[in-house]
Amino acid sequence: MAEDIFFLLFSKALSNLKVTAVEISEYLKNIYASHWCTFRDKDEKYPSSFVVADGSYQSTAFQGGVRVIYVRAIANRYEGNVLANYYPDVAVKLGFRLKRASLYMKALELKCLRRALNDCSDGSIAIHDGTIYPTISPKSLAGVTEQEVDAILEWLGSLYELYKFAMDHGHVLLGVVKDSHVNYLRSRILVRCIADVDYKLGEAISRERSLKNIASCLREALSASPNDALEEFLREAELMTSDEEVFEICTSEPGFTKPLLLAPQPLYLSEEVKAGTRNWRESRLRSRLESSSLLKPVSGVLDRIYSLPPILMFYWRPWHGYGVYRVDVASWVLNVGLRSDEMEGDRLIDDLDLVEKCRKIVSALNSLSPEPYAVKPLTDADELVRLRRSVYQESYEPVLIDYLRGEGLRAHPTKRARRETVLRGLK
């Protein structure tokens, strides 16, 4: 009955939808492909020692605004292709309108990874499911509560501790991102192309990472002086797509892109770009954090993170050719003699020695990726730790509610939650 009412309206709405297909010009396809290193080799044996980590969470909101978050994570340690041990952990958070659940999960994942590395020989591989490059939005810091700052500090503090331990013991720290929506590499390549056509314009936008801002600058330049090449770059900058999709389209062979060293993300905030901020220490964001008694600890932990070598990233297509994935690499294992807080912007790397070192990392990742998987041990960890909503509501939530009521909390689920439970029961 409901679908009889809504499906025709849905079809009509679709007919009014404006869709812009991802169409990359042959010229730019060739440019992107020139940054691709074809490579399908894999280590004959599994890495001698490696660990992987993943996490999951669920939450319950109660009448009155109280919320509880259940977070769990696990790190699995392998010796060759044999699971040698696993390192699970959980955290339960309770608070009024509790926020930033994903940060608590990330922090726990990083802590589990750090614990597992304690039992590994130096030089082992540690793989996190997701990025290991920290990003912070000024909007996420506006009007934050003390609880939210605690969540941010728990995440960043755990990240620093893992960074430092991995660096001190020569571990290869990686983050493998299944679905990445960023344009870090594409924007660098596009800025290079623009500079080849119009050097001054290229210089003016050299500090931009946002394709939206690059497109705005191109439109302004074109309004003053038409240029066919810049028109083509404008169309490219306006495409609703990501690095990942672009290299999925422009490449077919297994391999990886030339690497990109990532500068501290705050340098690419609009206010920093407009102000010409040279490095993290001189940034306006850092000054604001330092001037706030609540947020000053965030500045402190970012100072420690940015005192270490930067994160390097590349895109990787496994040896079997299925899918393109973003890979973050803690660059100290590549002997990058640079601190993050010295960087003024992202750097595209053409150095053959560094590319060769990336091949060794890709070879190890290929060895962990039987067809059709990309790093199958991460998939195994995900299956083990994933907390499905139905399981949470049937097994964990009743125990949680009983405990909270025993401690004197009313713990009545919200009306919306009760309604959804009833509706599920009617299906």
The amino acid sitting at 60 is T
Residue 100: pLDDT band (50, 70, 90) is very high
Token pair belonging to 105:
């999960």
Nearest to 187 by CA among 216, 212, 204, 217: 212
Evaluate if residue 32 carries a pLDDT over 60: yes
* Angstrom distance (rounded) from CA 128 to CA 114: 11
For 159-197, b/e burial (b = at least 16 CB within 10 A) is bbbbbebbbeeebbbbbbbeebebbbbbbbbbbebbbee
pLDDT at position 47 is 86
- The DSSP letter of residue 342 is G
Mean pLDDT across 156-172: 97
**Confidence grade of residue 420 (pLDDT, cut at 50, 70, 90):** low
Identify the pLDDT of residue 216.
Answer: 96
Q: Across all residues in the chain, what is the average pLDDT? A: 94
Confidence of residue 79 (pLDDT cuts 50, 70, 90): very high
Query: What is the value of pTM for the model shown?
Result: 0.94
Cβ–Cβ under 8 Å, residues 266 and 137: no
User: How would residue 81 be classed by pLDDT, with cut points 50, 70 and 90?
Assistant: confident
Q: Is the confidence at residue 51, as pLDDT, over 60?
A: yes
Helix (H, G, I), strand (E, B) or coil at 157: helix
State residue 57's pLDDT score.
97
Q: Of 148-152, 208-212, 350-354, which gets the smallest average pLDDT?
A: 350-354
Q: Residue 1: pLDDT band by 50, 70, 90 thresholds? A: low
* Strand, helix or coil for residue 94: strand
Average pLDDT over residues 222-242: 94
Band of residue 427 on the pLDDT scale cut at 50, 70, 90:
low
Distance CA(79)–CA(75), nearest Å, equals: 13
DSSP-derived 3-state class of residue 113:
helix
Q: Tell me whether the omega of the peptide bond preceding residue 372 falls within 30 degrees of 0, making it cis.
A: yes
pLDDT digits (tens, 9 = 90+) for 354-408: 999 999 999 999 999 999 999 999 999 999 999 999 999 999 999 999 999 999 9
Q: How confident is the model at residue 103 (pLDDT cuts 50, 70, 90)?
A: very high
**What's at 125, amino acid-wise?**
I
Determine the Cα–Cα distance for residues 191 and 211; give it in Å rounded to an integer. 10
Q: Once rounded to an integer, what is the mean pLDDT over residues 215-227? A: 95
pLDDT at 398: 93
Confidence at 154, pLDDT banded by 50, 70, 90: very high
pLDDT at residue 423 tops 80: no
Cite the DSSP H helix spans in 77-130.
Answer: 101-117
Kindly indicate the confidence band of residue 171, based on its pLDDT and cuts at 50, 70 and 90.
Answer: very high
pLDDT, residue 19, reads 80
Provide the CB-side half-sphere exposure for 398 (13 A, CA): 6
Predicted pLDDT at 34 = 96
Tell me the C-alpha distance between 304 and 297, whole Å: 11
Q: What percent of the chain has pLDDT over 70?
A: 97
- Distances from the Cα of 159 to the Cα of 154, 308, 383, 391, angstroms: 9, 12, 24, 30
pLDDT at 425: 59
From CA 274, how far away is CA 268, in angstroms rounded?
A: 10
pLDDT of residue 183 exceeding 80: yes
- Secondary-structure percent of the chain, ordered helix, strand, coil, rounded to 5: 50, 20, 30
Task: Say yes or no to pLDDT of 46 above 90.
Answer: no
Average pLDDT over residues 170-199: 96
3-state secondary structure 130-146: CCCCCCCCHHHHCCCCH
Does residue 419 surpass a pLDDT of 70?
no
What does the pLDDT average to over 268-295?
95
Instruction: Please say if the pLDDT value at position 3 is more than 90.
Output: no
Report the 10 Å Cβ neighbour count for 402: 11
